[in-house]
Every structure is written in C-alpha cells, then in structure tokens.
Amino acid sequence: MVSRKLTKSIAAGVAAIAIAGASYGIVSATSSGSSAAASSGTAGSGGPAGGPGSGGGSNARSGPAAGGSSGTASGVSTSGFTLTTAAGQKVIVNEASATTYEKGTSAASASAVTTGEPVLVLGTTSGTTITATQVIVQPASSGSATSSAAKVVPFQRGAPATSKQVGQIPANYTEGSGTIVSGTAANKATEAALAAYPGGVVDRVVKLSNGEYEVHYIGVNWPHHIFVSQDFKVVGAD
C-alpha cells in the first residue's frame, strides 16, 4: 500500500516538473519572438512626415545630416526662430555664434531675420529641427516660391503617400544606395532642391555612383527624393 502511494507521488512530481518545464519553454520562446519582432520592426522605419524608411545601405539615416529648408520666419528670438514652409511645415531653427547671415547677396547680422521675412536656412537637420550654419534672408529664389509650391503635395496625417515620378530618375537607382555628403556639395544640392520644390525639409544629401545627388525630402507627401545633377540642376523627383 505504501509502495503504491509512493509510486503515485513520484509520478505526480515528475508530471508537475514536465508541465513547468514546458510552460517555461513556451514563455521563453514567446519572449524571444517578441524581441526579434521588435528589433526587425524598427529597422529602416520612417517618421510620420518623412515617407518610407531608407531601407538600409550607406544612405540609411543614422543621425543628423547636412540639409536645410526655406520659408517665412516667425517667433524670432535671440536663440533662433520658427520657419514655416510654403507647404505649411513648421521648422525650428536654432542659431549659434558660428551661424553666418546674408541679406540678398550681402553679409548681414542676426538682426536681419525678422517676422515675415522669407529665409533660406542651411545647416544640420534632425527631423524638423535645423541647427543653422547659414541663414539667407530674402534669397534670390524666393520670388518663384508661390508658383513652384504647387508641385509639392503637402503632408496630411493619415493621407496615403503620393507615388509618381517626374523628370529623369538615375538608371539603376535604388533607395538606400550612395554616400551621405556634407559641406559645399550638400549646400548647393539643398539650395537647388528647395528652389525647385519649396515646401519640405532636406534631412540629408546623398551622392550616387554616377556623380549625381539624391536630396531626401521630409515634411511633405511628395516628393520624397529630388535628383540633382553634378552641376547642381534638378533633373527629376519621385
């Protein structure tokens, strides 16, 4: 009798251990699966106003990069101002002691930036915030902004992204290819893109293998990429 009871007790204990082990395996596998899904879900994702993610490669967004925007200044303070683009995107502009200023084609000071003035800002872009290296008040291209703005599709939350191609897209272009550039080349490509398609924010400039540039645009539903030739002329957009 004692032997039967002991046997039943041992069997019950073994079963409990097996069930506990199986439960642990299920929880462990679920946890691992969730972690893997979370990791894969964050790779190459785009912001809500920036269109689709870059998809990897050397063009993948890894941090602030050279870019800029243009529009009308407001909320001017000693540390910066707000810029509103032709498509209605709000951009925060932070100024620093090293920021340079121009009014038209002449050197100027920070006091040249006043509410209502059209401005072009070049600098380091992080989302819709720009740390300015150069601020140009009344840029030469500002006169054509109204007619050109019609080409841009403003960003509307919840609206599907517009998909179309205009002009020449470099042969064999793949989103995510190329090398992020800065300095004079990035500034010239940014200026060309903003003059042709005012309304968005340039958050990086990429040099492609054929020597042309892809200017990445955020803050609008279209375009997402503006293509600029080696002599800094806009040749296409998608």
Q: Where are the alpha helices (DSSP H) in the chain?
A: 2-42, 145-148, 183-196
- pLDDT tens readout for residues 118-152: 999 999 999 999 999 999 999 876 433 443 445 89
* The overall pTM is greater than 0.75: no
- The mean pLDDT of 210-228, rounded to a whole number, is 95
Q: What is the per-residue pLDDT across 39-70, written as a single tens digit (0 to 9) for each?
A: 322 223 333 343 333 333 344 455 799 999 99
Q: Facing residues of 69 across strands? A: 121, 201
- Torsion angles phi and psi, residue 41, rounded to 5: -75, -25
pLDDT (tens digit, 9 = 90+) per residue, 85-96? Answer: 999 999 999 999
H helices then E strands: how many in the chain?
3, 15
3-state helix, strand, coil in the chain (%, to 5): 30, 30, 40
- Give Cα separations from 230 to 22, 53, 192 (angstroms): 63, 25, 11
The pLDDT, as a whole number, for residue 34 is 37
Q: Is the pLDDT of residue 71 over 50?
A: yes
Q: Which residues contact 67 (CB under 8 A, 6 or more apart)?
A: 122, 123, 124, 125, 130, 186, 190, 201, 202, 203, 204, 205, 216
pLDDT above 90 covers what percent of the chain?
A: 60
Q: Using DSSP bridges, classify how beta strands 65-74 and 118-126 pair: parallel, antiparallel or unpaired.
A: antiparallel
CA distances in angstroms from 20 to 6, 14, 15, 23, 108, listed in the order given: 21, 10, 9, 5, 75
What is the spatial distance between Cα 193 and Cα 215, in angstroms, rounded to a whole number? 7
Token representation of residue 228: 């600029």
Q: 136 has which bridge partners?
A: 102, 120
- When computed from its CA atoms, the radius of gyration of the chain, rounded to whole angstroms, is 27
Question: CA 198 to CA 218: how far, in whole Å?
Answer: 12
For residue 169 the two structure tokens come to 């897209």
